[in-house]
Amino acid sequence: MRRLAAVAILAGVLMAAAAACKDEKSAAPPPLALSKVAVGQAEPVVLAAHGSELLVGLRHRGAKVVPEAQILRNGRWTPIAVRPNAASPYAFEAIWYSIAYDGKQLLALGGASGGAHSNTRWTVWTGTPQTGLVEHPQNFWTFGGQTAGDLFSAVLTPSGGALLGTWGGVETGNDAMVWLPQPDGKWARQDPTKTALQSTSSLLVGPGFGTTLGDSIVLVGSQVRLAPNTVAQEAAVWRSTKANQGWTRIALPEPGSRSQANTATCAKDCVISGYVDGKLAIWQLDASGTAKRLQGVPSVPVGDKDKLPPPIVDGDKIVQVVAQDNKVKVLTGQGGEWTVQDTQGPEGQVTDAVLMPDHKLYLIAGTSLWQTTLS
C-alpha cells in the first residue's frame, strides 16, 4: 500500500509539473509598452525609411500648407521643406498618400478632395531632404477625367520613379496603371494593353498597394474571375521584371472563398498581408515567383475597410501589427509558431509601421506616432 501511495504521489507531482510547463509555454507574453513620439502639432499619416533614416509625412490641419514632413537622422528630427506651387490650389490642402525615399531622392503622392463631385485631386512632389519636396503641377487629364481611377503608391526603383494606381480599362472595368515621369516634370500614363495589368471580360484586376523589389515594381490586391455562375475574388500579385516592363500576374495560394492582398514588404523576397474569408492571411513570394500561404497565423478579423500596415521582416521573424477592437496588437511569427502581444499606449486604427536597424518599431495609430524596441 505504501508503495502504491508513493507511486500515486510521484505521478501527481509529474502531472503537476507537466501542467505547469504547459501553462508557462502557452502563457501570453507581457504587454509591449509603446511611447508617443512628439512631432509637433501635425498628425502623422505615412512613414518611409531608408537605412537608419526615418521619414514621416504629416498633416497640419490648421496650417496654410497642410502637408508637412520631417526626417529622423542621428536621433534628431529635422523638418523637410514642403513647397506647393501657386498654380495648384489643392497642393496646399494635400494629404500624403505615399512617400518613397531611397536615401537620396524623394517622391511623394498627395491628394485632397475637391470639385463638384469631391473627387481626389492628386499632386506629385519630388526633391531631397535637403532641397525639400517641390510640387509639380499636372494638367487635369493626367489623373482626372471620366475614366479616372485611383492612385495609391509612389515608388522609386534604380530605373526611376513611378506612380501606381488604376484607370478605366482598355476593354472593361479598370486596369492597373503606371505613371512615369517625363523630362518636363509632367507624368504620363502607360499603356497596359495586352499585359498582365489589363482587365478582360473573364478577369478583372484590382491592385491597391505598390512597392519595389530591386528593379521590379510589385503590386498587390485581388483579381476577380468571371465565368458563367462564377464570381470569385482572389488575392493576387503583379510583378514587373524592371520598372514598367515584363509584367506577370501571380494568384496567391489558398484563397478561400474570398481574399485580398492589402500590403507588402519586399527585400530578398516579398511578405504580403491581407485576408482570406474575413481573417488575417500572410503569404511569402520568393524571387522565382513561387508563393505560399503561411500557416498558424492568428485568427484576427480583417474586413474590406480595415487598414493593414505593411508586414515587417526582422531576420527570420515576421511581424504584423494589427488593430482589433480598437486595441493595437503585435503578431510575431518564427519557425511556424506565432505569438500575439498586446500593447500599452496606442489605440485606434494602425495605418503604417516600419522597423529600423536598431530594432526600434515605429507605427502610426490613431493620430499619433509611437515607438518601441522589439527584442
pLDDT digits (tens, 9 = 90+) for 256-299: 999 999 999 999 999 999 999 999 999 999 989 999 999 999 99
What pLDDT shows up at residue 122?
97
Match 515587417 to its residue by C-alpha cell.
312
Percent of the chain residues past pLDDT 90, beyond the cut = 85
Confidence of residue 116 (pLDDT cuts 50, 70, 90): low
Q: Which cell numbers hold the place of 323?
A: 488593430
- Give 220-264 pLDDT, tens digit per residue: 999 999 999 889 999 999 999 999 999 999 999 999 999 999 999
What pLDDT shows up at residue 359?
94
Residues 178-202, mean pLDDT to the nearest whole number: 97
Residues 96-110, mean pLDDT to the nearest whole number: 98
What pLDDT shows up at residue 27?
65
What pLDDT shows up at residue 114?
82
- Give the rounded distance of the alpha carbon of 8 from its chain centre: 57
* CB distance 59 to 43 below 8 Å: yes
Q: CA 282, 299, 29, 54 torsion: positive or negative?
A: positive
- Give 149-173 pLDDT, tens digit per residue: 999 999 999 999 999 999 999 999 9
Does the pLDDT value for residue 21 go beyond 50?
A: no
- Give 320-373 pLDDT, tens digit per residue: 999 999 899 999 999 999 999 999 999 999 999 999 999 999 999 999 999 999
Average pLDDT for the chain:
92
